[in-house]
Structure formats: structure tokens, C-alpha cells
Amino acid sequence: QDTLEQHRPLYHFTPPEQWMNDPNGMVFYDGEYHLFYQHYPDSNVWGPMHWGHAVSRNLVTWEHLPIALYPDSIGMIFSGSSVADVDNTSGFGSADNPPLVAMFTYHNAEGERARRNDYQTQGIAYSLDKGRTWEKYANNPVVNNPGLRDFRDPNLFWHEPTQRWVLILAAGDRVRLYNSPDLKAWTFLSEFGEKNGDHGGVWECPDLFPMMVNGQQKWVMLLSINPGGPNGGSATQYFVGNFDGKKFTTDYPNDTLWIDYGPDDYAGVTWSNVPESDGRRLFIGWMSNWDYAKEVPTYAWRSAMTVARTLSLVQTDAGVRLASRPVQELEQLRNGSYTLSAATVRDSLDLSHQANLQSPAMEFKLSFDLPKTTASDFGVRLFNDLGEEVRIGYEPQAKQWYIDRSRSGKTDFKEGFVRRITAPRLAESDTLTMHLYVDVASVELFADDGTTVMTSIFFPNEDFTHAALFTERDSLHFNGGEAFSLTQKPL
């Protein structure tokens, strides 16, 4: 089984070959979800960045398209976003055929080597054929560097009240906001973040969008940080607050909030131009971590994206928080479904046989009675016949979810891959729920209706095709649930 293709997920997005990192330029247009991504087509480690490209009609099945953007004399093409310029404000298209406009960071490697501090600038490109081909703007860059070594990852959106495009980008320990009538001429507005959130590493890949909660509009800012994540390395924090078209303020100046506590969800941002009739805020992240992304034991390609997720704001006792749930379209992957009966679990309860599952791609929806705060740890074990396993569990004493990948197979490719991965439980209810997506080399836990999320990758020597419930000591009340084997359907 030890081939160049070993560990390739069945339904998560991966590049056909070679290196991938951040998702970029996600826009919905004319029935298609576009996904671009940081890509180096000549090697399975990071190098001169391009924008790879794929499209999907259902966020589940992806069609690979040719590389959309290549490096040029100004620089490599780093992360960014794209929008549908439906009113043709840029003039790149026409009223009948409005353009898609992408903004990306130009990273000039010579400038970096020469230790200049202006080697990152923002450029734009447009497409008049539904993203199939792209033309770079002749007067790039459109945002010059004010003398900041870190000045990247532009994210664009249309702000209706001010009738302006707004641009947010990462500048070291803060974000900077700009606006423009036409996507070409940009005016600096404000900064945010120097004194807020986590600063264990450099800020990257911001996103800013409105969301409703309690009948009120709030603004959510996503902000990736590397290193400094709650479980080491890269992670994405968020802020909830207000935005008046010029300035963002946070409602929780003293809190650091993480969209996903696992080590393997980074640089995630959301799709633009999703129709109001749909109304969802759709997110995807890079399912890896700069701590070890270049060393993970895959060869033909490196890295996958998370599953697409729907974000929402929920009111909790601690305040308004961001929840993530797998998109409903993922149900299309189910090809066998099994009801799991309620049971008292002592030691272990096999799910694979009960559910007739023998698949490296599985989904579980499980519910448990909240045990006493003194009770022992419990959860789900994914395992193979070699004695390798991953545990996704809950610790009542610490009131936290965890993932243990210390015995998951290949773990020594990079120091620090094995460490205890934990996340505080936010929910207060007497029932705990776990929604799990497993896919050959990853597990995504959406606990308590997505209020605690953890994503983790792993590399067993043989696929984990078995699953069981475990409890370390005390008996556990399992309320039952559902199990599914998943398969990718051809396009």
C-alpha cells in the first residue's frame, strides 16, 4: 500500500499533484463554486507560488482546471480573494459580461533577499470567461507597500451602504482596511488588531463579513496566525464586532477566539457572491500546519482542504460565538447508512461491525449523556489491524474535547506532530454530540452543534477502517446515532 498515492483522501479536495497551501479567491459565479489555491506545480514542497484552480457545483465534487495565475516579473502570486464585479465598476468587462476580479499579493523574492521592506504589493487580474482564463491588470500593483515587511493576503467585498469595495489585508501584527470605487484606486481607511487577539505569530489571511445573530447584524473577522495556535503552529482566530464601512471594532476585546482548535485548519476564508437566496456563509481551510506541512509523508501531492463548512453566529453564555458545521451537500457522499442503538458502554463498543462499516471514509453522528465531572475520558477510536489508532474524545474533568494522534502510525516525520490536542467545551447542555468526518488521513470533529471544532490529520501505515466507542474507566451512556460509509461519486 506504500505508494506515491498513499494517504490521498477520497472526498477532500487535493491538488492533482505537487504542493498546495491556502485556499484562495473563492467566489460563487453562474452556478459554480470556484476554488483557487496556493500551488507550486514543480515540487511537493513550497516554492514560487501560482494559483491552482478547481470548480464545483456542489462543494463536494471538484473538477480540476488549468493553473489560473502564474508568477511574473513583479513576483510570485501569494494568497488573495476574488469577487464578481457585477456592475462592472472596474470597466474590465461590460454590463452584459461583468468580470470576475481577483486580488492577490505579489511577493518579490529578490526584494526579500535584498532585505527590502516593500517586496509585498497587491495586484489584480480579471476574467471574462467564468474564471477559465485570467488577464493581469496592466498597471499592477494597485496597492503599493508603505514599508511593511508583512503586507499581504487581500480580501475583498462590496459594502453596500458606502457603495465601495472594501479591502482588508494582513500587515504583521494588525490588519489594514482600504476602500475603492473601482477595484483599482485604493484609499487607506483604518487599522485593527495591534492590541487585540493573539499575537504569538504573524497575522495572515484575513476575511471580514456580516452575519445575523439575535436579529442583529454583526461583523466577523477571520484572522490566521502562524505560529501561536492553541495547539501549536498555525491556526485561525476570529473577532465579532461592528464595521461602519471604515473601521472595525470588536465586542470582545479581551477574548481570543478560535474557529477550529485542531492543528490542521489554517488560512481559511469564505466564498464571496453566494446568492442571498442561499444565505450561507461558506468556509474552507487548508488542512495542514506550517509546523510540518512540508514534511508530511505524502509524495505525489501535499495537503488537502477541510470539508466546506457553513458558519453561523450563536448566542452562548460567554457571548456571541462562531459555529461551523459541515455543508449539507456532503450528505451526497453517503452510500451506506446504519442506525446505532443506544447502549451503556463499558470499556469498548465496536461501531464497525454494528454498522457493517469497513471504510477509510466514514461519517458519524453520535450523542452521549454528559457524564459526571469526575468521570473518565471517553470517545471514538479509529483503528487498523496494526494496532495504530486515533482517539477523538472528551475529558469531563477538564471539560474539554481532545484528539490523540500519538499512536496514529507515521508520526516522527517532524518533531511536534505528536502533542496533546485539546479544545474547551463551550456548550452547557447535558447532552454531548459529535459529528465526525473521517477521510483516510484526517478527522474533523464538529462537537455540540459546531460550537467546538477540531481538525486533525494523521498517517496510519494501513488505513483506519474500524471504529469503536471507548471509555477509559467509568461506564458511559451512549444515546445512539448514525454511521455512514462515504464514497466520492464521479462528476
Stretch 399-458 residues interacting with ligand FRU (CB under 6 A) = none
The minimum distance between CB 336 and ligand FRU, in angstroms, equals: 37
- 49 contacts ligand FRU (rule: CB under 6 A): yes
Nearest CB to ligand FRU, comparing residues 85 and 153: 153
Catalytic residue among 2, 22, 87, 118: 22
Grid cell of 297 as nine digits: 509523508
State which of residues 56, 81, 105, 288 lies at the interface with ligand FRU (CB under 6 A): 105
Nearest CB to ligand FRU, comparing residues 89 and 105: 105
- 267 contacts ligand FRU (rule: CB under 6 A): yes
DSSP state of 305: B
Nearest CB to ligand FRU, comparing residues 22 and 389: 22
22 an active-site residue?
Answer: yes
State which of residues 29, 78, 137, 243 lies at the interface with ligand FRU (CB under 6 A): 78
Closest C-alpha to 359, from 489, 490, 485, 457: 485
- 22 contacts ligand FRU (rule: CB under 6 A): yes
- 359 contacts ligand FRU (rule: CB under 6 A): no
- 40 contacts ligand FRU (rule: CB under 6 A): no
State which of residues 6, 14, 44, 79 lies at the interface with ligand FRU (CB under 6 A): 79
**In terms of C-beta density within 10 A (0-12 exposed, 13-18 middle, 19 or more buried), how is residue 200 classed?**
middle
How much of the chain is helix, strand and coil, in % rounded to 5?
Answer: 0, 50, 50
Nearest CB to ligand FRU, comparing residues 93 and 263: 263
- 152 contacts ligand FRU (rule: CB under 6 A): yes
Closest C-alpha to 211, from 283, 308, 280, 285: 280
Residues 6+ apart with CB under 8 A from 215: none
The minimum distance between CB 204 and ligand FRU, in angstroms, equals: 4
Q: Are 128 and 93 in contact (CB under 8 A)?
A: yes
Q: Are 402 and 445 in contact (CB under 8 A)?
A: no
The minimum distance between CB 320 and ligand FRU, in angstroms, equals: 27
- 153 contacts ligand FRU (rule: CB under 6 A): yes
State which of residues 21, 81, 231, 359 lies at the interface with ligand FRU (CB under 6 A): 21
Q: Is the C-alpha dihedral spanning 92, 95, 100, 101 positive or negative? A: positive
Stretch 178-217 residues interacting with ligand FRU (CB under 6 A) = 204-205
- 231 contacts ligand FRU (rule: CB under 6 A): no
- 306 contacts ligand FRU (rule: CB under 6 A): no
Nearest CB to ligand FRU, comparing residues 171 and 366: 171
SS3 307: coil
How many residues form the binding site for ligand FRU (CB under 6 A)? 12
- 44 contacts ligand FRU (rule: CB under 6 A): no
Residue 111 host element (H or E): helix 109-113
> 309-316 and 281-286 as β-strands: parallel, antiparallel, unpaired?
antiparallel
Nearest CB to ligand FRU, comparing residues 77 and 322: 77
Which whole-number Å values give the CA distances from 152 to 121, 196, 226, 237, 411, in the listed order?
7, 19, 14, 17, 32
Buried b (16+ CB within 10 A) or exposed e, 290-322: bbbbbebbbebbbbbbbbbbbbbbeeeeeebbb
- Give the footprint of ligand FRU on this chain (CB under 6 A): 21-22, 38, 49, 78-79, 105, 152-153, 204-205, 267
Q: Which residues are catalytic?
A: 22
